[in-house]
C-alpha cells in the first residue's frame, strides 16, 4: 500500500523568504508524484508533477527516490502563494487513483 506524509500542517513565512514544503512517501514500486494546490475558494488544481520537471509559478520539486521524498521549494515566496498544498502519489497499478498527504497550509506574510 502507498502512503504520503506531509509533516507540517501549517507553515508561515515572510514575503521574499524561501519556502520548502515537505513530502515523504512510501511505496515499493515506481510512483508518480504530484503537488496540488487549493487557493481560497478555488478548486483543487495541479501545480506540478515530477515527470515533467517543470518550474510552475517559481515552484520546483525533485523526486528523491533514496529518501522517498518530493519536497516543494520556492526561493522567494509571494503573498499570492498562500494556499493549501497537497502532495499526492499515483501508483502504476492503480489507474488514476491518487493518494494524498494531509496537506500543508502555507501563509505568506507581507
Give the binding site for another protein (CB under 8 A): 32, 43-46, 49, 51, 86, 90, 92, 94-103
Minimum CB separation of residue 88 from another protein in Å reads 8
Nearer to another protein, 96 or 110 (CB): 96
Nearer to another protein, 34 or 77 (CB): 34
Nearer to another protein, 8 or 32 (CB): 32
Nearer to another protein, 12 or 45 (CB): 45
Minimum CB separation of residue 32 from another protein in Å reads 6
Q: What angle do CA 13, 46, 11 make, to 5 degrees?
A: 15
Tell me the DSSP string of the chain: --EEE---SEEEEETTS-EEE--EEE-SS--EEEEEEE-TTS--EEEEETTTT--BTTBEE--BTTTTB--EEESS--GGG-EEEEEEEE-TTSTT--EE---EEEEEE-
Asked if 48 and 58 touch (Cβ cutoff 8 Å), the reply is no
Minimum CB separation of residue 101 from another protein in Å reads 7
Minimum CB separation of residue 99 from another protein in Å reads 7
Amino acid at each position: 500500500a502507498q502512503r504520503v506524509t506531509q509533516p507540517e500542517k501549517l507553515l508561515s513565512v515572510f514575503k521574499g523568504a524561501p519556502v520548502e514544503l515537505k513530502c515523504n512517501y512510501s511505496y515499493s514500486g515506481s510512483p508518480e508524484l504530484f503537488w496540488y494546490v487549493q487557493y481560497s475558494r478555488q478548486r483543487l488544481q495541479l501545480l506540478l508533477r515530477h515527470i515533467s520537471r517543470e518550474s510552475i509559478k517559481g515552484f520546483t520539486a525533485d523526486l528523491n527516490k533514496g529518501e522517498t521524498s518530493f519536497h516543494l521549494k520556492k526561493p522567494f515566496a509571494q503573498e499570492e502563494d498562500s494556499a493549501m498544498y497537497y502532495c499526492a502519489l499515483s501508483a502504476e497499478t492503480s489507474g488514476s487513483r491518487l493518494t494524498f498527504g494531509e496537506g500543508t497550509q502555507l501563509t505568506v506574510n507581507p
